[in-house]
Structure 1
Amino acid sequence: MTHPADRALIALAGLAGALGVALSAAAAHIAGATSLATAAQFLLFHAPALLGTALLAGSGRLPPALVRAAGFALALGLALFSGDLSVRALAQQALFPMAAPSGGMILILGWILVAVAAVWPSRPGPR
């Protein structure tokens, strides 16, 4: 049975992928939309990472809670970073002050949590 948090991460991965494609298409049609293209790239790069965290957490090969925390940190950082860049490109205003830098720092934290989960000892569970 799939844990609800893993299902949420998979849904967020699908959303990130879909938004990444949509923003890539929009950026191709808007002159000078480098921020929008960057937001699209981040969404597309991180969609498989979100899938990976859900799969790793569900596999039990790494500490599930730590891997899920990493996945949700990646999703939150992605929403803030890409969301701010997208709103700036499309509406010429910030999502809120320091949204993109905060999102970037949370993305970095998410990747550090992935690294920590890889070296954190797992408790052997029932197979």
Structure 2
Amino acid sequence: MGSTEQPASAGSRVFVLAGGLCGAAGVALSAAAAHLGGAFVGTAASFLLMHAPVFFAVGLIGAERALRVASLVLLVGLVLFCGDLLARDFLGSRPFPMSAPIGGTLLIGGWLAIAASAFMPRRA
């Protein structure tokens, strides 16, 4: 008999991959913060770890377009925000001016878009 499982879409795989990478980076950076210090490393680790489950969930449930777009905004914001914090500690400079505030704003917008997606019509 054939399997009833359907292959994961490329979009779903991207979010599962993002969740795994955020989780791994968050754990590694938590260890780095504990052993090496750095004012921003621990914050970046916390943000990565708290967002990893969101990407797993979106990837695993095969979410509607609105939720996928909101999650993509969240992912871009996370990369900008955490990238800025880590660059400050490890490189001594920022990737570009306003990268953390832009990333933080995208994180807030991504979460609000996730909340708004609850009111979007679902496809049958």
What is the rounded CA distance, in whole Å, between the counterparts of 2:23 and 2:104 in structure 1?
18
Structure 1 residues 47-87: Cα deviation after superposition (integer angstroms, max 9, x where no partner): 0011122234x1x5xxx111110111111111000111011
Q: Structure 1 regions of 5+ residues with no counterpart?
A: none
User: Partner amino acid for 1:16?
Assistant: C
Task: Tell me which residue corresponds to 2:3.
Answer: none
Deviation at 1:10, TM superposition (A): 0.6
SS of 2:40's partner is helix
What amino acid is aligned across from residue 5 of structure 1 in structure 2?
G
- Give CA-to-partner distance per residue, 1:66-114, whole Å, 9 cap, x none: 1110111111111000111011011110011111111111111111111
2:31 is aligned with 1:3:
no
Q: Deviations over 1:13-36 (max 9, x none)?
A: 1111111111111111224x2311
Q: Counterpart of 2:48?
A: 43
Match of 1:96 in 2: 96
The question of 1:85 aligning with 2:91 is answered: no
- CA distance in structure 2 between the aligned counterparts of 1:6 and 1:110, rounded to whole angstroms: 17
The question of 1:17 aligning with 2:6 is answered no
CA shift at 1:38, angstroms? 0.2
Q: Secondary structure in 2 aligned to 1:92?
A: coil
Task: State percent identity of aligned pairs.
Answer: 44
TM-score by length of 1: 0.87
CA distance in 2, matches of 1:123, 1:71: 18
Give the Cα separation in 2 of the matches to 1:10 and 1:72: 12
Aligned residues: 118
Whether contact under 8 Å (1:50, 1:74) holds in the other structure is no
SS at match of 2:93: coil
Contact 1:13 1:51 (C-alpha < 8 Å) held by counterparts: yes
Structure 2 residue aligned with 1:27 = 33
Kindly report structure 1 stretches of 4+ aligned residues shifted beyond 6 Å: none
